[in-house]
A and B are shown apart, each in its own frame.
Chain A
Amino acid sequence: MLAFAYDGSLNGDWVAHYAVRFASNTAARRLRVIHVRDEARAAHLPERLARIAAECAAVDVACEAEVVERGAVDVAARVLDVAGPDATVIAGTRARPRARAFLAHTVSARLLAARRVPVIAIRVVHPGVLGQPGRVLVPVAERVDFAAAALPVLRLLGDDIERLHLLWVCAVSRLRARWQSAPAGARLVAAGRAGLAAVEDALRAGLAPLAPSLDATVVISPDPPREIVLQAARHRARLICLDHDAPAAGPLARASLEVVLRDAPADVAVFRNPP
C-alpha cells in the first residue's frame, strides 16, 4: 500500500505525480494521500486533493485522501501512524533550500530516520516530466543487498523507466585520485565492474518482465556526490534514485545527500528501507 504525505504545496503537487505513477505500477493500484492539517494551506486543499484524485482516476488508481489532525506528535510520526506498518511512504523534500539543505530537518528527513517503513523522499527538479522520468540514474552503494534494497523503488517506477543507468563510484581520497598509477586505477575500476555486474544481473532479474535498457559506468572520484551530479547530467537522467544508507557517503552521509539534492540536474528520490 502506498501512502503519500502531502503538504498541500505546489511542490507537493509535483511530488504527487510520482506518487500517482508509483501507485499505477503496483498490483493494488491504490494510493492513500495523507495530509496533516496545516491552517496555512487549508484554503485550497479540497480542490488540490480533488485534482490528485482526478489524476489517480485517469490512470485507474483508487485514491483515498485523509486529512488528519496533528495531535501531540510531530507530523512525521503522525503520517507513519496513519500510514500503518505495511505502507511505503512517499514524501517531498523542500522546494527551496534552507541553509543550503533540502532534506535536513524536514518531515521527509524524520520519516527516513524513523526506519519504520520504506520511505521515498523526492525532490522535483523537473516539474515538466510529471513523474515519468524515462532515464534513471542509480548510484550503486557498495553493499551486498543493494539490489534488494533498490528493487522496490525501481519496480514502483515500472515502465516509466526507459533507460536505467547504474553508476559505481570508487571513492578515493583527493590525493589518491590525483596521483594513483594507471594500473592501480584500472584495478579499482575492474573491481567496480565486477561488483556492478552482479548488481546489474540482480536488478535485471528482479525487474523482469520489465526490461529497461541498462547501462553501467564505473568512475574513480574523490567526490562521489559531485560525480553523481555530473553523471546524471552526462546521461541526461531525469531521476536519480539514491540509497539513503550508501556507505560510500560514510560519516558525511547527510552532507553528501544534500549535495546531490542541491546540485542534481534531475529529480532525486532518496529511498530507505527498514532494517
Chain B
Amino acid sequence: MIQRQIHNLALAEVFAFLRSRAGGLTAAEVAERQAELGPNTLDPPPRWGWVRTLAAQLTNLFSVLLYASSALCFVAERMQPGEHMAVLGWALAGVALLNAAFTFAQTIRAEQAMRALQDLLPQRVTVTRADGEQAVPIATLVPGDVIHLAEGDRVPADARLIEATDLLANNAPLTGESRHASLVAAEVPAGRLVDAPNLVFAGCAIVRGSGRAVVYATGRRTEFGKVAALSVAVRRPPTPLEREVARMVRILTVVALVMGVGFFAYGVAIGRPLWVNVVFMLGIIVANVPEGLLPTLTLALAMGGVRLARKRVLVKRLDAVEALGAVEVICTDKTGTLTHNQLAVTAAVEAVSAAPLPDDGRRALLEAAVTASELRRHGDGWSGDPLDVAAAEALRAAGGDPDAITAAIVRRVAFDVQRRRAAGVRRDGAAPRFAIKGAWEVVRPHVALDAAALAQADATVRALASRGLRVLAVASRAIAADRVAAPEAELEQGLTLHGFLCLSDPLRAAVPDALTRCHAAGIRVVLITGDHPDTARAIAAQAGIVTADAGAEAVITGGELETMREAELAARLRAGACVFARTTPEQKLKIVAALKQLGLVVAMTGDGVNDAPALRAADVGIAMGASGTDVARAAAQIVLLDDDFASIVAGVEEGRTVFANIRKFTSYVLASNVPEIVPFLAYVALPVPLGLTVIQILSIDLGTDLLPAIGLGQEPPDGEAMGRPPRGHHGRLLDRALMVRSYLFLGLIQAAWAMALFFVALVAAGWRWGASLPATDAGYRAATGVTLVAVVFSQVANLIGRRYEARSGLDRGVLRNRLLVLGIALEIGFAFAALYWPPLAAALGTGPAAWWLVALAALGAPLLFVADLARKRRAFRATVAGTGR
C-alpha cells in the first residue's frame, strides 16, 4: 500500500528528504547538485537529425535505382559518345533528387514538439538561497531550491509547496483539466502524486495567489520532462499510403530490374556489343519506372491539403491527407469538438419533485451558485470558469444582479478537482450566507434532507444526467457573523438544498449529420470525455454515436479502464463499447493501443500537452486549432482550425478521394509503360529497328503524362467516396486488378496499335523485314514519330477512361477539371509538334509523317476508349450478377 510519497510528507520531512531548508541551499550545495544532476532543461533534439531524414529520402529504393541508372548512362556515354546518354543520365539524377527534395520538405518537422514544450517553460525564477533572494535562470535550479511563485508565473520545475496564499494553478498543460486547481501547503494523506494539491508541476501556470515551494525534480525528471521525452520517443507508424507507395515502388523496381538484367544477359549471350546491351538495359529500366509518378503523387497530396485547408482542416504532413481517408475509427473529445464549448443554464429544478423551480426559488439558487463562483467583469459579460459564467448569465436573465452578489462575497473556496465543489460566503443582510455548488455526490452528505428525500434527489440527478445535462447541486445556509472564517467542515453542515442547476453544452448543428455520414462510410466513432457516464451516454446518443437505448456495455469509465486488462479492453471495444467517460487524457494512449491491437486505423483528437503521446501514437493525430496547446498542435499531423467534428468527416471524404485519385493516375501512368517496353523487347528479340528511343520514353513519362496525371489527382469527390467501407490497412494502391488492367489490357492495346503503326510507317518508307536503318533515316524518324504519337493519343483516351471505374469518363464534368483539359491539349499539341516542329523533332529523333499515318495514330484513342468502355460494362454486369447471386 502506497503511503509515503513526496505529497504525503510533512514539511519537515520534505526538507529532510531534499537535504534543504526554508532558508534555501548554499552556493556550494547548489554547485554540487548541479554537477551531480545536471541543468534543469529538457534535452534538445539531435542537432543533425535533419541530415538523417534527408539521407533516408535520398536512399530509398526508387532513388537508388535511378542513381544507378544515371551512373550507367554516364558510363555508356564515355564508352560510346554521341548517343545522348549523358542527357538521359542528368534527367534520371534530376528526377531522383526532385523526388527526394519533395518528400524531405514535408517530413522534417520532428523536433517541433520539443521546441513548443521549451517555450512553455519560463526563463528566470526567484529563489531563496542561503545568500538571499535572487532571480536565477531556470536552468540553474536544483532539487532543494526554494522557489517563489506569484500570479502569472509559469512553474519552472516540480516542487512541493511550503507556503500557499490563495494559490490557484492551471495544470491544463499537464493534466488536460481545464479547471484551475486550488493549492495548499499541508501534506495530503492519500491520492495520486500527479493529483496532489500540494505539488506544482513544471510548465503549469499560477493564475492567482502566491506561494513558495521546494523543488524536488528538475529537467527530464519532472512530469513535464517525461511527457516531452515521450512526445519525441513515440515514433509515428508509417501511414497506409507510405506503406502502399513503398510496396508499389518495390514491385515496380523488381519488375524493372528483372527485365533489364534479363535482357542484358540475353544480349550478352547472343553476342551484342556490351555498350548496346547497357543502353538496352537502361532503356528497359527507364521504360518500366514511372518517373513522374512520385512527384505527381506528392502534388496530388499537396493539392488535397489545400482543399482541406479551405474546409478548415490544416494538414501538417502531406500523407495525412490520405491517411485520413483510410481511418476506420475516430476517437473524439466531446467539449468543443462535438459541442460548442458554450455552457448555458437550461433548467433549475427542485431536487425531490424534479419540477422546475418557481421564479423566486430559481433566483435564490442562482444567487447561491454565484456566491460559490469566481467571476471577473469582462466588458459586458464575465470571465472565469464557464460554469460560473453560465450561472451569472442566468441570474442576470432572471432579473438578478451578479455584480452585486460578487461584490458582497467575503470568502471564496476555489473549486477543488478532488473535492469537486466550490464554495463562498457573502454578506446577506444581517447574517452572512455560506453557499456551495458541486457534484451531487459531494454535496449530498451535507444537506438537511431525510433518507426518502435523498433517494428522490438521487433519482432526479440520474434522470437529468441521462438527458445529457451537466447537473450541479446548489445549497446554502445562513451563518453567524463571526463564523465567516470558520473551517469548511463546520460551515458545510446542515445546508439547505436549493435544487439542481442543469447546464448543457449544445451539440454542434452539423454533428448528427456528420455522424450519419461516418456510419454510412463504415467509420466507427468513439467518444472520450471526462464527463459523468450518464451525461456522456446521453451526448453520444444525441450525436448518434450510440442508439438511445444503448446499454451500460457501451460505456467504459476511467475507473474501469484503469484496472482493465488490455485484452479485456480490446474485447469490450470489439463488442461495441464506444463511450469512455470520466477518463483522463493519459488513458487515451491505452485506448489507441487497444484499437490498434484490433488492426484498425485510428484517428485521435486532442488538445492538451499530455494528449501529445496519444496524438503521435494514433495513425492520424488531430489537434484542436482553436483550443489546443502548441504542443498538441506540434504532435498532430492535422489541425482542425474550427475544432468542429464535421470538419474531420469532410477531411475523411477528401482523403478517400485523394486515394481514389492516386489509383486513377497510377493506372494511367502504368498503362503507357507497356508500349514503352514492347519496342525494346521487339528490338532485342526480332531483326527490327527500335520503335521508341529512351529520350522519347522520357518525353512521355516526364512530359506528356505529367499534367494529365496531375489533372486526375484533382478529380472532385464522386459522391460514392463516403458510401464505401473504409480502406484500413488492407486496401491496396497497386492491386492485381489495377496491374492487370493497366499492363495487360490498356497497355497491350496501346502497344499493339503503336507497334502496328510503326511497321506500317516503316514499310511505307520502303523498309523490308530484317533490314537495319540508321537513326538519321527520314523514314525511320517518321516511323518512331508515329509510334510516339500513337502512344500519346491513346493516353488521351486512357486519361478520360480513368476518371471513373464504371462510367465512361465523358459523362460528368470533364470540362470542369481545367488541368485535365489542359493535359489533353498538351498531349495533342505535343503529338503534332513532335512530328512537325523541327527543333522538337530534332531533339526527339522524330520526323514528319504522312497525314494518313497521323490520322491512324489518332484513331487509336477512340479504339482504346471503346474497348475500355466495353470492359467496364462487362465488369459492371459481372459485379451486378455477383451481387444478385
Q: In the bound complex, do residue A132 and residue B238 qualify as a contact, i.e. CB atoms below 8 Å apart? A: no
Q: Contacting chain B: which of A7-15, A60-68, A146-154?
A: A7-15
Inter-chain contact B565/A125, CB cutoff 8 Å: no
Asked if B238 contacts A10 (CB within 8 A), the reply is no
Contact B4 A216 (CB under 8 A): no
**B431-452 interface with A by 8 A CB criterion:** none
Q: Are B217 and A128 in contact (CB under 8 A)?
A: yes
Chain B 232-283 interface residues, beta-carbon cutoff 8 Å to A: 233-235, 238, 243, 246-247
For residue B377, CB closer than 8 A to chain A, the reply is no
In the complex the two chains form, is A129's CB within 8 Å of B38's CB? no
User: In the complex, what residues of A have CB within 8 A of residue B36's CB?
Assistant: 9-11, 95-96
Q: Closest chain B residue to A265 by CB distance?
A: B226
Give bound CA distance, A130 to B9, whole Å. 10
Number of residues in A with C-beta < 8 Å to the partner? 38
Contact: A215 with B221, CB < 8 Å? Answer: no
Taken together as a complex, chains A and B put the C-alpha atoms of A213 and B246 apart, in Å, by 43
If A13-B19, A216-B565, A217-B566 touch, does A230 touch B230 (CB 8 Å cutoff)?
yes
Tell whether, in the assembled complex, residue A233 and residue B226 are in contact, meaning their CB atoms are under 8 Å apart. Answer: yes
Is there a chain A Cβ closer than 8 Å to B17's Cβ? Answer: yes
Question: Which residues of the other chain, B, contact A142 by a CB distance below 8 angstroms?
Answer: none
- Across the interface, A128 reaches (CB within 8 A) one of B216, B238, B247, B599, namely B216
Residues B221 and A162 in contact, CB atoms below 8 Å apart: no
Total of A-B residue pairs, C-beta within 8 Å: 98
**How distant is the Cα of A48 from the Cα of B19 in the complex, in angstroms?**
9
A74 within 8 Å of B by Cβ?
Answer: no
How far does the alpha carbon of A159 sit from the alpha carbon of B4 in the complex, in Å?
A: 13
Closest Cβ neighbor of A40 among chain B residues: B32
**Within 8 Å of chain A (Cβ to Cβ): is B16?**
yes
Bound-complex Cα distance A130 to B8 (A): 10
Nearest neighbor of B589 in chain A, beta-carbon distance: A234
Specify the chain B residue showing the minimal Cβ separation from A129.
B5
Q: Which of B577-613 touch A at CB < 8 Å?
A: 586, 589-590, 593, 599, 613
Mark A221-261 against chain B: 1 for CB-CB distance below 8 A, else 0.
Answer: 00000100110011110000000000000000000000000
A-side contacts of B566, CB under 8 Å: 215-217
Q: Is the CB of B233 within 8 A of A230?
A: yes
Does B575 touch A at the CB level, under 8 Å? no
Q: Are B2 and A126 in contact (CB under 8 A)?
A: no
Q: Does A143 have its Cβ within 8 Å of any Cβ on chain B?
A: no
Contact A128–B193 (Cβ < 8 Å): yes
Q: Return chain A residues, CB-CB under 8 Å to B6.
A: 127-130
Determine which residue in A11, A127, A178 has the highest number of CB atoms from chain B within 10 A of its CB, and name it: A127
Instruction: Check B1 for interface membership: any CB of A closer than 8 A.
Output: yes
A10 to B35, CA, bound (A): 11
Task: Kindly state the separation between the CA atoms of A163 and B246 in the bound complex, as whole angstroms.
Answer: 41
The answer to whether A96 touches B38 (Cβ under 8 A) is: yes
Is the C-beta of A263 less than 8 angstroms from some C-beta in chain B?
A: yes
- The answer on a CB contact under 8 Å between A233 and B143 is no
Q: Which of the residues A126, A162, A233 comes within 8 Å of B613, measured between beta carbons? A: A233
Interface residues of B, count at CB 8 A: 48
**Chain B contacts for A263, CB-based, 8 A:** 229, 233
Alpha-carbon gap, A132 to B217, bound state (A): 16
The smallest C-beta distance from A240 to any residue of chain B, in angstroms, reads 13
- B234–A236 touching, CB < 8 Å: no
Cβ of A99 < 8 Å from any Cβ of B?
Answer: no
Residue among A95, A126, A265 making CB contact with B230, cutoff 8 Å: A265
B388 beta carbon closer than 8 Å to chain A: no
Asked if B220 lies at the interface with its beta carbon under 8 angstroms from chain A, I say yes
Asked if B3 is at the interface (CB within 8 A of a chain A CB), the reply is yes
| Residues of chain B with a CB closer than 8 A to A235's CB | 590
Q: Which of A135-150 contact B (CB under 8 A)?
A: none
Question: Do A127 and B590 touch across chains, with their CB atoms under 8 A apart?
Answer: no
Residues on B with C-beta less than 8 A from A128 are: 5-7, 158, 160, 193, 199, 216-217
What residues of A have a CB within 8 angstroms of the CB of B226 in the complex? 125, 233, 265
- Verify if B510 is at the interface (C-beta below 8 Å from A): no
- Whether the Cβ atoms of A234 and B593 lie closer than 8 Å is yes
Q: Is B33 an interface residue (CB 8 A)?
A: yes
Q: Report yes or no: B216 in contact with A127, Cβ–Cβ below 8 A.
A: yes
Complex-state Cα separation, A265 to B566, whole angstroms = 20
Contact check, B33 vs A10: say whether CB atoms are below 8 A apart: yes
With CB as the reference atom, state the residue of chain B lying closest to A193: B567
Contact status A10-B220, CB under 8 Å: no
Contact with B along A264-275 (1 / 0, CB 8 A): 010000000000
**Does the CB pair B5–A132 fall under 8 Å?**
yes
> Are the C-beta atoms of B16 and A234 separated by less than 8 Å?
no
For B1, the closest partner residue in chain A by CB is A159
A51 contacts partner chain B, Cβ-Cβ < 8 Å: yes
* CB of B563 closer than 8 Å to a CB of A: yes
B586 touches A51 (CB 8 A): no
Interface residues of B in 383-402 (CB under 8 A from A): none
Q: Is B37 an interface residue (CB 8 A)?
A: yes
Q: With a CB–CB cut-off of 8 A, which chain A residues contact B234?
A: 230
State the Cβ distance, B863 to closest chain A Cβ, in Å: 40
A95–B39 CA distance with the chains assembled, in angstroms: 12
**A67–chain B nearest beta-carbon distance, Å:** 18
Complex CA–CA separation, A82 to B873 (angstroms): 88
Please give, as numbers and ranges, the residues of chain A lying within 8 Å of B158 by CB-CB distance: 128
* Complex Cα gap A160–B158 (Å): 23
A235 to B33, CA, bound (A): 31
Docked Cα-Cα span, A85 to B107, in Å, equals 56
Contact of B4 with A130 in the complex, beta carbons under 8 Å: yes
Which one of A96, A130, A230 lies within 8 Å of B17 (CB-CB)?
A: A130
Give 22 CB contacts A-B under 8 Å.
A10-B19, A10-B36, A11-B36, A51-B16, A95-B38, A96-B38, A127-B216, A128-B199, A130-B4, A130-B6, A132-B5, A134-B2, A178-B246, A182-B599, A216-B566, A217-B566, A226-B233, A230-B617, A233-B613, A234-B589, A235-B590, A263-B233
Give B contacts to A, CB under 8 Å.
1-7, 9, 16-17, 19, 33, 36-38, 143-144, 158, 160, 193, 199, 216-217, 220-221, 226, 229-230, 233-235, 238, 243, 246-247, 563, 565-567, 586, 589-590, 593, 599, 613, 617, 729-730
The 10 A-B pairs with the shortest beta carbon distances in the complex, nearest first, are A128-B6, A265-B226, A96-B38, A215-B565, A233-B230, A234-B589, A132-B2, A134-B2, A95-B37, A129-B5
Given contacts A13-B19, A233-B589, 16 further A-B contacts (CB under 8 A): A10-B144, A44-B19, A96-B36, A96-B38, A126-B221, A127-B6, A129-B5, A132-B4, A162-B2, A163-B563, A215-B565, A216-B566, A234-B589, A234-B590, A234-B613, A235-B590
